[in-house]
Structure 1
Amino acid sequence: MLDEVLFADDGLYDACELPAEVMPILRENFRRIQLPDYPMWASTDDSPIRWYSAPDAILRLDGIQNRAWLHARARTPAGLEAIRRLLPGRWVG
């Protein structure tokens, strides 16, 4: 269910390969959702899947290695831009 919300095609989603040095910023600014670690179906290299939230955002981190994929959804375009500024990386959107 969370994946459908996260990947909806409405301009409020983006993704980047998160550099390892930025991961502490993610943990400091977003609350980990109390779901168990999930394996990534496509690759064990991208495991575990962990979910994070903020009042106007939901994020999914695929793996804990350097350049793990971070998927982000915000409630507004300004909220998504705030995530991009807070977590520097090569955002695809």
Structure 2
Amino acid sequence: MIVRIMGEGQVRLPDARLADLNELDDELLAEMEKGDGPGFRATLQALLAKVHELGEPVPDDSLEPSDLILPTPDATLEEVRDMLSDDGLIPGT
């Protein structure tokens, strides 16, 4: 699976590792629903760090379609809210 982090590039993440991100995605969704700005910021940073930890960067000269798009590390709560589906940022997990 190819994950794009807006403003950073792409990361190749094994499909089996997607479930590892589910807990953070659920946390992020709950913080957004409560309007918890500081919690949202910390969880977003943790989610993006986990993607980097579990995946491998896709070379900049490689153009591959992204299966999942995540917000920039400095995205606001409102910007991320606009990106969400009912399942959070990571659908189906």
Tell me the TM-score normalised to structure 1 length. Answer: 0.27
Instruction: Determine which structure has greater relative contact order: mean sequence separation of CA pairs < 8 Å that are 6+ residues apart, divided by chain length.
Output: 2
Q: Report the structure, 1 or 2, having the larger helix content.
A: 2
Structure with the higher strand share, 1 or 2: 1
